[in-house]
Structure 1
């Protein structure tokens, strides 16, 4: 467990105690602190998250798509990899939305009827209009208005164009990569403020909602964790058995070192060397396949993060007493799936992506305050799910390539 994680968990614990105990001891003191400390600090943290949403999504998507190479030359492995990641993302999001809708972790919610009734949800947009409007008539306006699906579409077009042009736009590609690095550094700065933000937000939320909020937060956490474990062991287990022709027990035993490290680091990129080593040495995946599939997966495969975003979106909608339509559900799946392309595998990005998903269906980003305090724990779990999906596909692709004779079965060790 790294130092930042320890700080966030400690801040979370202190925030829970302050939020639940202080109002019972002296309500006036809590109200003063909430007005002049908790609420301002929490608002600053949320503003910092919102500040980087649009540029991070745009730059990371452009870089992620352009790095895929010329679409005409992606080849067999590339097509298999991208299709698999997109399909499993849709499966994970669908399961998460269904589970959250049935369990209803946000009912009765944290805000109380008065606050919830003050929020007026935007009118649902017809599905055909949603699909047509994905292509922006003015990309700059879409960015200023945080029209996330339109931003994603424009970024994908730019990324594909850069991939096709190749070396002709090497300078521009370098600019986008450096801009993306800058945004990731800003995210790192924001996450250094996370312990204070987590403390302030959880103390304010629990202090205003009281002990009833504990049940809702626990229900939310259990829902996310339950779907993560189901997707990890059941969905991936079945896929690796039927498509990878490997025993799930052998797979999870061989990949457990990487899963454990991912839980500790909360970073798909940070654990990538160990993920590749485990896949090659313990699962028999060739270096060629592992070296292609797993780094690409660390960029475009975020099933665990998608599960959190889906459950969190339904949870926040329930808290604000907003009924999500079938169109809204489709937008959530579409937005989260497309946004996974280029999403950096580093701690804290999940919350920024959640802000984007909430915006896409017209829900208030203030709802992030309700879950930010407990998200670090779930972040550790979903990172393990993210990297496991990469390894599952590596096993499947490797088996197919060896069957075709395209890969030397003896080349499996890490140099």
Structure 2
């Protein structure tokens, strides 16, 4: 990656050709906005289509190579196309992958492993997506408590009860869901006071872009239990990334239920709902099922991924490299006197621009990200980034070299 390339526009001609075709037949392509465009133009400066991925890098359909800090929005903890995981997948795939309503022994092996490494996991139930598991957690909490209301915080999936946009969703679907200010425990107390005896659960991400503390999470748990509700961690991003045991292990705060996906299988589609046996037993009173929940290939991927995380220095590398990226960005902010701050934990950092003037902030932010992506550092402007064990010191240094050019251009 050449930092000088950061001053030039990427060639995305093939990418644009694919997009023109996609908009005719692909509903997602025809309805989603580009991730990043230059102010004053409609031309994307962020690649849409990927031709291949390996380690910490990906290549778009025009052959441009990037150091990837999106990593599929976080699942790729070991690096793209990790050979250890792929070998496990290929070996399992040779035996077939669709066996519902029968089971594979992999299901039991993986659930035993999850109960061993995840704090508080007495039982586990395997599904496919994060939205699957958060919705299942809410249903089990309602069964366990006999109550209906949900108090939540963070991004908890796309299903009606938690969707961020009301379009196409009956108001009744929102009627039993409340939100609160995660940073203010009194906000949670007030939510319980508003609906006394009605709350089945509090479902939260332990943190989002910023950071939190053990004491704070413990207080939220205490408030939840004081009112007889189930305390649930949505660990889609933090699970198997902050520590093998996720945020529960890292902060030492144990939830009643916790949901996992993403880094659990290095990008293969599988998720898990884990927690107390007495709450999980509610599965006998409802139906949560899919033909593809029993697929053993993704289970093999998860077991291989967790094995690497447990028995190598992979997570230590993620923390060290992410910390080096954060440290370098803070130095650049100081050198160029940019109104910005580095936020989050080392495995999932982010750069937030903070100028009080919204127009100035948007202009500086846009110039920075346009230049960084053109330089080959795939940094998302609106979502926290992710670091993998496949990143190297050279990748971090090359990224900081590009970010230096981007900072200079942003404030120039």
Please say whether Structure 1 and Structure 2 have the same fold, judged by a TM-score greater than 0.5: no
Higher strand proportion: 2
TM interval, short-chain normalised: under 0.3
Which structure shows the higher helix fraction? 1
Q: TM-score if structure 2 supplies the norm length? A: 0.26
TM-score normalised over the length of structure 1: 0.26
Question: Highest relative contact order (Cα 8 Å, sep 6+), 1 or 2?
Answer: 1
